[in-house]
Structures are given as structure tokens and as C-alpha cells.
Chains A and B, each alone.
Chain A
Amino acid sequence: MFSAAALLKNALSGHTGWTPHWRKAAPKPRYDVVIVGGGGHGLATAYYLAKVFGITNVAVLEKGWIGSGNAGRNTTIIRSNYLLPGNIPFYERSMKLWEGLEQDFNFNAMVSQRGVLNLYHSDGQRDAYVRRGNALRLHGVDADLLDRDQVRAMVPMLDFDNARFPIEGGLLQRRGGTARHDAVVWGYARGADRRGVDIVEGCEVTGLRRENGRVVGVETTRGFIGAGTVGLAVAGNTSRLAAMADLRLPIESYVLQAFVSEGIKPLLDTVVTFGAGHFYISQSDKGGLVFGGDLDPFPSYAQRGGLPVAEDVAACAMAVMPMLGRLKILRSWGGIMDMSQDGSPIIDRTPVEGLFLNAGWCYGGFKATPASGWCFAHLLATGELHPDAAALRLDRFSSGRVIDEKGAGATPNLH
């Protein structure tokens, strides 16, 4: 338990008194709810199932160790500055949950509301951001339009007079920021475990057993596990799991790369996104600059990216923040994104009875973690879509009610 007394006691005893935060549970023969995927979303789902809905006979199955997938392969940005009505309430619920998360699960997730600043470089782009900002404010979400001088006061190290992409201003969400990805996973795992949820690591699902059209459990590398309800939260590998139930989904898997520079002294105290190319950057508490850009262009399950996109990210970096050219890249990684056909996620039941889906997070999954868990838990517990996620339906594609923020159409690699 994290209390001031416990911290003091352990500080004075060489930190030898801490115990593991969750049990290494062995799978039981049957659970009321089996959640496949021990990332942020799966663990958050289990946490809220236990805490909000009192459903504790729950297992979270993870093929590796918890947080070893995309929960450990992101750029930790949190924000709720979406444009469309189907997305705004959902992401704003997530933002509000982030704001109370550490007190809620009594774990330091290093949530830092340092702001997210989207730069604009032309009059047309400013108009688009005015529209976005107004849409946000109409939904009660904070948004401030900054002019060039206000941006310069915040982030003076940018290249304001770039010949091709001069910075004219930015749209700022002050409540946005970053969080510590591992701590989010650990906090939810700890909270779920303490309420009786079994977190089963090293347990890969190899099949979904069905009887009379209904899912009755999962085949795993640790044997069959019966389940009243199965929820998939395996973004990146959703199509592979869904294929076990003969489902074809509106999802393709792509690699998204991210990069970290060597650690430097405090430089950037907000999150900045470049408006003339795909590039975003923040500074971690360890001092490294964390940044990324576009997807690699073709479908992939390889957790590594190619050089052309790395070059493009570097070019964008130099266009917006030329001082980055003096830094060394310390490491880079690639994560497998569930790219949906409209760029928005899916939290819904499937045509297979007893099988529920949490998928299609594209490259916005980290910020959605709390609301994803909250709304998926609501769906698993009540069988009803949560009002804030009511638009994130699986059948929105065939019915034409897509939520396409970019207006790119059915081209997953362009969202």
C-alpha cells in the first residue's frame, strides 16, 4: 500500500520491504469473463469490471508479460482534441479519467498535463483549427488558439521563419500532455489484482472454442480456460484472434515507429505537433526527446520499421526544430497498429455470441486506455454500449456511419 508511512518506512529500510504488486496467477478452469490481452486496455477493462461493476471472477490472459505490446511501444501522449461527435465524448471521458487516475488506483502514473500544441502553417490550416477548437469547446473540451507570438513564448526553439513551413500559430489543449506508459499498466494490474482478478502471463490464446454458435472458452498454451464471456483487447493482432472465430474485420495491421534521442537537460515542456508533415515530439522525464511520425506504408506484423519513414521523420524534425540535428538517436522501435478503415476504434459485441471486441485503436490507443477500459467493462458487464462510446460500433462500416476524422476513406494506411 502506498501511504506516506509505508514510503518512509521503506526509505529507511533500504527499500527491501516492497512486495510484488500482482500475483503470478495460474489459470483456473473457468471465469465469468476472460479478457485476452494484458496491455493497458485489457488491464483497465479488468480493473473497472472489478471496481465499478463488482465482477471479480475475471482473468486477463497475456501471451508475453503485461505491457509488452503496444502499451510499451507508444509515445505516451494523452489528449482529447478530436473533431467528430462520435469521438469527442469518448476521448474526453478518457481525459477526465486520466485527471483522476493516480488518486483512483493509488499509483504514480506520472500524468503530466503539460499541454498539446498543434502548429499551423497557413491561413487555411488556421481556419481548420478554429473549426476544431470550436467543436471542442461546444463539447466542453478546452481549446485555445494561439498566434505566432504566443507560440514563440511557449516554444522559442522552433523554426518560425522556415521558408516553406513558417509557423503562424497553434491550437493548444492545455489539459493534454503525457503519462508514464509502464506505470499505467502496473497501476491497473495492481488495482485489478487486489480486487481478485487473475493476471495470467505467458499464456497465449490459440483458439476460441464455440458450442452452438456461442463462445464457451479459449484454448491457450496453458490449456483450455472456460469463459462466460470473452473480450478481445489485442490491438495489432485483432485480425488473427478474430479469424479464430471466423470473423473478418475492417482492420489492417501496420508498423508505427517512434524514436528517442539521447537525454538532455529540460528543453521542451509541452507536446508539439508539426502541422506541415506528420511529426510530434515531447521530452520524457529522463531527458530524452520522444518523437514519431507516419506509419510505414504497407501492412506488417514485424515489430520494426523501415528506413524511408525514419528519414521522413528526421526531415520533419529538421523542418520544425533544426536544433534536433545536433542530437543522437538513442533508440527506435516499431509497434503493430490496428488500423481501422475509418481511423476510429471499435468497442462492440461481435456476431459471435459471447465474444466482444475492443480494437481498431490505430495509433491513438494509449490516450484512450482509461475510457477504453471503462466503456469495454460497461459493455461486458451490462451487454449495452456505453453512451460515450455508442458510435464506436462494428456495424458502422456497412451502415455508412463511419467516423473518419481525416476524411481519407477506406484506406487504413492514410488515417
Chain B
Amino acid sequence: MLIPCPFCGPRDLGEFSVLGAARARPVVAVADLDGEAAVAAFAAYVYERENPAGPQAEHWFHGAGCQHWLTVVRDTRTHAILSVTSAGTDEAAQSLEAAQGAAPEAAP
């Protein structure tokens, strides 16, 4: 399996490690960190997953290459890679949004 790194070009899967689904960390004011809402939000952030059968945005690390964190949008039914962008950039945010918009319909 080749992953098209935006910095290094197509590289073997073995050069990368996967962190899992890309998801937004809850933003909570320091004063509210011990509140019920914050605890629930962080529990959901740490443990709950969409786990879609279809396109999913993920964070991958190119450890044996450029050592960049990447946002990879991948179809979990076919393993097809739909886009790879540098994580944290506007481009990555757009690909993340696009992946969330593409709600999976068909069964695997």
C-alpha cells in the first residue's frame, strides 16, 4: 500500500504510523475544566468514535520520512486513499470537512 505524502511522494505504508480518526479537541475554559460538561466532552473526545464504513479523516505520522503529521482521508471499506494533506493547515481542515460531509450510505 502506497501513501502519497505531499512532501515525499508515494511511500510505503511501513514508513507511517496511524493515530486514528482526526477529531476536534474540545475547547474548554480553564475555569470550567472540572465541570460536568467539560468532563463529558473530554470522555467523548477520548473514547467515542464515529467509526464510519466509508470515508474517514485520520491523522498519520510519516516517521520514516519527512516526520510530518498528515491528514489522510481514506475509505474504510476499500482502503482507497482519497486525499493526503499536511495536518493543521487550511487545506487539511477542508479535507476533514469534506470527509465528514460525505456520510457513508452503502454497506461494505
Residue positions of A touching B, CB distance < 8 A: 204, 237, 239-240, 243, 248-253, 297-303, 306, 308, 341, 397-398, 410-413
Chain A residues whose CB sits within 8 angstroms of the CB of B76 once the complex forms = 253, 299-302
Stretch among B26-34, B46-54, B63-71, B87-95 lining the A interface? B46-54
Q: Which of A302, A306, A410, A413 contacts B47 (CB 8 A)?
A: A410
A371 CA to B39 CA, complexed, in Å:
33
**Among candidates B14, B47, B107, residue contacting A341 with C-beta atoms closer than 8 Å:** B47
Q: How far apart are the CA atoms of A341 and B44 in the complex, in Å?
A: 12
B10 contacts A by Cβ under 8 Å: no
Q: Are B40 and A249 in contact (CB under 8 A)?
A: no
Q: Provide the residues of chain A in CB contact with B14, threshold 8 Å.
A: 308
Which A residues lie within 8 Å of B79 (CB)? 298, 300, 302, 306
Contact B77 A413 (CB under 8 A): no
Shortest CB-to-CB span from B93 to chain A, Å, is 21
Q: With A and B bound together, what is the CA distance between A118 and B20 in angstroms?
A: 30
On whether A239 and B50 interact (CB within 8 A), knowing A253-B76, A298-B58, A302-B76, the answer reads: yes
Alpha-carbon distance A308/B13, docked complex (angstroms): 8
Q: CB-CB < 8 A to A248: which residues of B? A: 44, 48-50
Q: Give complex CA distance A252, B20 in Å.
A: 9
Chain B residue nearest to A253 in the complex (CB): B51
Output the least CB separation between A364 and chain B (Å).
Answer: 19
Are B43 and A240 interface neighbours, CB within 8 A?
A: no
Which 9 A-B residue pairings sit nearest by Cβ, starting from the closest?
A239-B51, A398-B43, A301-B108, A250-B47, A397-B47, A248-B48, A301-B53, A341-B47, A298-B18
Q: Is B38's CB within 8 Å of the partner chain A? A: no
Q: From residue 54 to 101 of chain B, which have CB atoms closer than 8 A to chain A?
A: 56, 58, 74, 76-79
Task: Report the separation of the CA atoms of residues A275 and B102 in the bound assembly, to the nearest whole angstrom.
Answer: 42
Q: Who on chain A is nearest to B77 by CB? A: A301
A237–B78 alpha-carbon span in the complex (Å):
15
B44, B51, B107: the one within 8 Å of A299 (CB): B51
The answer to whether A397 and B43 touch across the interface, beta carbons within 8 angstroms, is yes
Q: Which residue of B13, B17, B48, B53 is within 8 Å of A249 (Cβ)?
A: B48
Additional pairs, 4, CB under 8 Å, beyond known A250-B47, A251-B51, A308-B13? A252-B21, A299-B58, A303-B108, A413-B20
Judge whether B1 is part of the interface by a CB distance below 8 angstroms.
yes
B interface, over-half SS: mixed
Residue of B at shortest CB range from A251? B51
B20-A411 in contact (CB<8A): yes
In the assembled complex, which residues on chain A have CB atoms less than 8 Å from the CB atom of B43? 397-398
B52 to chain A, nearest CB (A): 8
In contact, B1 and A249 (Cβ under 8 angstroms) = no
Q: Which of B17, B40, B51 contacts A252 (CB 8 A)?
A: B51
| B72 to A, closest residue via Cβ | A298
Q: How far is the CA of A34 from the CA of B58 in the complex (A)?
A: 35
- Per the bound structure, the CA–CA distance linking A249 and B13 in Å amounts to 28
* Nearest chain B CB to A361 CB, angstrom units: 15
A13 to B90: give the CA distance in the assembly, Å. 75
Cα(A237)–Cα(B108), bound, Å: 10
Contact B77 A302 (CB under 8 A): yes
Q: How far is the CB of B105 from chain A (nearest CB, A)?
A: 11
The CA of A308 and the CA of B12, in the complex, are separated in Å by 10
Contact B13 A306 (CB under 8 A): yes
Complex interface: chain B residues within 8 A of A253 (CB): 51, 53, 76
Contact A302 B108, beta carbon cutoff 8 Å: yes
> When the two chains form the complex, which single residue of A297, A298, A410 contacts B46, counting CB atoms closer than 8 Å?
A410
B56 cross-chain contacts in A, Cβ below 8 A: 299
A248 to B40, CA, bound (A): 13
- The answer to whether B49 and A239 have CB atoms under 8 Å apart is yes
Chain B residue at minimum C-beta to C-beta distance from A255: B79
Closest-by-CB residue of B relative to A297 is: B18
Contact of B49 with A249 in the complex, beta carbons under 8 Å: yes
B44 neighbours in A (Cβ, 8 Å): 248, 398
Contacting pair A249 B77 (CB below 8 A): no
* Minimum CB–CB distance for B33 against chain A, Å: 16
Return chain B residues, CB-CB under 8 Å to A243: 50
Select the residue from B17, B46, B78 with max chain A CB neighbours within 10 A. Answer: B46
Residues of A with C-beta under 8 A to B48: 248-250
Residues of A within 8 A of B52 (CB): 239
Contacts of A249 in B (CB 8 A): 48-49, 51
Report A123 CB to chain B, min CB distance, Å. 30
30 pairs, A vs B, C-beta closer than 8 Å: A237-B53, A239-B50, A239-B51, A243-B50, A248-B50, A253-B51, A253-B53, A298-B18, A298-B74, A298-B79, A299-B21, A299-B51, A299-B56, A300-B76, A301-B53, A301-B76, A302-B78, A303-B108, A306-B1, A306-B13, A306-B79, A341-B46, A341-B47, A397-B47, A398-B39, A398-B43, A398-B47, A410-B46, A411-B20, A413-B18
